[in-house]
Amino acid sequence: MQKRPGGRSARVRDAVRQATLAELAEHGYDGLTVENVAIRSGVHKTSVYRRWGNAEGLIADALELARGEPWPVPDTGSFREDLREIVRSVQREFADPATGPVASAFVTAAALSAAAAQSLHGFFATRHDQAAVVVRRAVERGELPADTDVTDVIRMAVAPVYYRLFITHEPVTARDAERAADAAAAAARAGVI
C-alpha cells in the first residue's frame, strides 16, 4: 500500500494509532479489540482488520510509530546528570497517568504475544541507541574507558526502574531512578560495563 506522508493513508494510520493508545490507556492490552479501535477512530472496521489484522498488529504499529518519534537526549555537559535525566524520564513516564498505563500495556502485550514482544524489542533497540549518545559523549571526553559498552550502560541504568515496576511490584521514586543512574555511571567509570 502506498503511503503518502500527510495523505489520507497517513491520517487514517494516525487516527487508528491514537485510538489504540487511548484504548490501551483505558482498558489495557486485555481490553484492546479491533472493534473498539474502529469505533473510536471512526475508521471502518473492515479497513482496520484489512490493514492491522488484530490487536497485535495494532500494538506493533503503535510501537513502530513511537519508535520513529523524536526523543530528546539530554545534554547537560555532565555524564552523571545526563544519565540521571534519562532514568528519571523513564520513571516519570510510568508515574504519569497519561502515559504510564499505555507504556505498561506495551510490556504486558509483549508478555502475552510473540509479535508484540518483537515490536517492543525493536522499540527498545532504537531507544538504547538514542540514549547511548550520552555515554558515547562521556567516552569521547575521556570520562569513561574507550571499550565501554555504551548501550549496556543504558540497560544497567534503566533496568532497576523496570524491575521495580514489572517484576517486584515495588514503588519507584525519583531518588530510586537517580540511584540506578549513579550505579550504572560508577560501574562504567570502574570499567566493568
User: Which phi and psi angles does 11 have, rounded to 5°?
Assistant: -65, -40
Nearer Cβ to a second copy, position 17 or 164? Answer: 164
Q: Is 163 in the site for a second copy (CB under 8 A)?
A: yes
Q: Are 105 and 93 in contact (CB under 8 A)?
A: no
Smallest separation, CB 175 to a second copy (Å):
11
CA-to-CA distance for 150 and 134, rounded, in angstroms? 9
Q: Is 57 in the site for a second copy (CB under 8 A)?
A: no
Q: Which three cell numbers stand for residue 65?
A: 510509530
Q: Is 155 in the site for a second copy (CB under 8 A)?
A: yes
Nearer Cβ to a second copy, position 103 or 133? Answer: 103
Q: Which of residues 94-133 bind a second copy (CB under 8 A)?
A: 104, 107-108, 110-112, 117-118, 120-121, 124-125, 128
| Total chain residues near a second copy (CB under 8 A) | 40
Q: Is 67 in the site for a second copy (CB under 8 A)?
A: no
Q: Which three cell numbers stand for residue 63?
A: 510501537
CA-to-CA distance for 135 and 153, rounded, in angstroms? 7
Q: Is 11 in the site for a second copy (CB under 8 A)?
A: no
Q: Is 71 in the site for a second copy (CB under 8 A)?
A: no
Q: Which of residues 22-51 bind a second copy (CB under 8 A)?
A: 30
Q: Is 10 in the site for a second copy (CB under 8 A)?
A: no
The burial class, CB within 10 Å (0-12 / 13-18 / 19+), for 46 is exposed
Q: How far is CA 129 from CA 14, 125, 133, in A?
A: 25, 6, 7
Task: Find the length of the chain.
Answer: 193
Q: Is 170 in the site for a second copy (CB under 8 A)?
A: yes
HSE, CB side, 13 Å, CA atoms: give it for residue 93: 16
Residues forming contacts to a second copy in the complex (CB under 8 A) are 30, 104, 107-108, 110-112, 117-118, 120-121, 124-125, 128, 152, 155-156, 158-160, 162-164, 166-170, 179-180, 182-187, 189-190, 192-193
